[in-house]
Amino acid sequence: MLWVVVPALNEAENLRELLPPLVGEVTSLDPDGRVLVVDDGSSDRTSATVGELMMDLPCVELRTLGLHSGKAVALREGLAHALALGATTVVTMDADGQDDPADLELLLAALEHGADVVTGVRRGTSDGPVRRRVVRWQARAAALVSGVPDADAGSAFTAMTDRAAAALAPLLAGERHRYLGVLAHGLGQRVARVPIDHRPRLHGRNSHPWTGAWRGVPDLVTTRFLLGLEHRPAHLAGALGAGCGLVGLLGVLHLGLGADAPGEDRGLLLAGLLLVVGVQLALFGVLAELVVHARDLEGRTAARSSSSASRRGASPRPAAPRDPGLRTPVRPLAGAVADREA
C-alpha cells in the first residue's frame, strides 16, 4: 500500500494546487494509495484548506501537530502514522510544489529494482544562488562525513520500503530529515539515487529557509556518531581522553620538574586540568560502553522471550512488579488466588 507523507508549514495555497495532481498520480499507481498531510503547527489556513480538499479527494488524510515542531518531527509522525495503517511503501515530499508528482513513478521503479531507499537528486534547481551554494556545500560535507556520493541535502523527495521507514523514523529529529539517504546508508539499507525535476515554488516563501542548512551541521555530526560510534562510544571518548591525558601528563612532568619561571603555576594548573579531564573522558567512555552493553543485552533477552513465546503459541508473560524492599518478585493478586485454589 502506497502512502505519500507531505509535511506542511503555512502551505495552504500550494497544497490547493499540489494535492489534486498528486492524488491522481498516487491512485494511478495504487488504487488504495493514501496521501497524508502533516500540518506542522501552521498559522494560516493549511488545515482548513486540506479539510476542504478532502471532501473531493477521499484518499487524503490530515494530521495536525499542536505546535510547530520542525520538519523532522512532522516526518517522523507521518511515517509512524502511515506504518501503523499498513503502508508498505512510503514517499516523502515537500508541500511547496517544487517536487513534481510525475517523478513519483521513477522513485517507485527504483524501489522495484531492489533498493530500500530512493532519494531524488535534482537535475536543476530554481533556488537562489546563495541557497544553491549552501546546499552544494552541505551535500559535499555529508558525502565527506558519510561516504555517500551525490547526497542532495536539499531534496525531500524520497521513497522507501516499510522496513526502511520503520528503521529511519526513530532517528528523525532536529535537521536530520536532510540526511535520509545518509542515515539509510549507515543502517545498511540499499540506497539508490534518481534524477528528478525541481520546479519553482508555486506560492509564498520557503518555510524552511536556507539558514536551516547551517543548523543542520550539528545534526550531521550527530548522524556520523549514530552511524559509526553508537555501539562503540569508548572509541571516541577514549581517544579524546588519551589525548588530553597525555598532554596534561607531559605538561605536569615538564613544569613540575623544571625550574621556577614566571607563569609556571598557571601552566601547571592547566596541565593538571587536562590530565583530570582525560581521566574523566576515559571513565565516561567505559560507562557509555556499559550502557550500550546493557541495552543490547536487554534487546537480545526480549527477542529470545518473544521468540520462545511465539513458538509456544502464546504471548510473552509480563514481568511481575518488584517491590524494592523485597528479594523476590511480588505476585499479582489474581495469580496468587489462582495458585491457592489450584
Cβ atoms of 1 and 30 within 8 Å: the answer is yes
Least confident of 39-53, 248-262, 308-322: 308-322
pLDDT of residue 147: 62
- Does residue 5 have a pLDDT over 90? yes
Q: What is the mean pLDDT of residues 205-221?
A: 59
Cα-Cα-Cα-Cα dihedral sign, residues 27, 112, 166, 314: positive
- Label residue 288 by pLDDT band (50, 70, 90): confident
- Label residue 319 by pLDDT band (50, 70, 90): very low
Please, what is the average pLDDT of the chain? 77
User: 257-281: per-residue pLDDT in tens?
Assistant: 665 555 567 777 888 888 888 888 8
* % of the chain exceeding 70 in pLDDT: 67
- Does residue 282 have a pLDDT over 50? yes
* % of the chain exceeding 90 in pLDDT: 27
User: 37-56: per-residue pLDDT in tens?
Assistant: 999 988 889 999 999 999 99
- Label residue 218 by pLDDT band (50, 70, 90): low
**Helices then strands, each counted (H, E), the chain:** 11, 7
Cα-Cα-Cα-Cα dihedral sign, residues 2, 90, 88, 149: positive
Is the overall model pTM greater than 0.75, yes or no? no
Least confident of 173-182, 199-208, 232-241: 199-208
Query: Which range, 29-33, 152-156, 240-244, is most confident?
Result: 29-33
Q: Is 202 exposed, middle or buried (0-12, 13-18, 19+ CB in 10 A)?
A: middle
d(CA 53, CA 286): 56
d(CA 131, CA 169): 27
According to DSSP, residue 45 is labeled S
According to DSSP, residue 204 is labeled S
DSSP-derived secondary structure for 218-248:
HHHHHHHHHHHTTT-HHHHHHHHHHHHHHHH
Residues 6+ apart with CB under 8 A from 133: none
Residues 6+ apart with CB under 8 A from 104: 4, 22, 25, 26, 29, 91, 159
- Does residue 59 have a pLDDT over 50? yes
Q: Is 289 exposed, middle or buried (0-12, 13-18, 19+ CB in 10 A)?
A: middle
User: 152-188: per-residue pLDDT in tens?
Assistant: 555 788 999 999 999 888 888 777 777 787 788 778 8
Q: What is the mean pLDDT of residues 276-288?
A: 84
User: 98-144: per-residue pLDDT in tens?
Assistant: 888 999 999 999 999 989 999 888 766 555 566 666 666 666 766 66
DSSP helix/strand/coil, 282: helix
Query: Which of the two residues, 203 and 239, has the higher pLDDT score?
Result: 239
Terminal-to-terminal C-alpha distance of the chain? 50
Query: Which of the two residues, 255 and 260, has the higher pLDDT score?
Result: 255
The upper half-sphere exposure of residue 101, i.e. CA atoms within 13 Å in the direction of its Cβ, equals 21
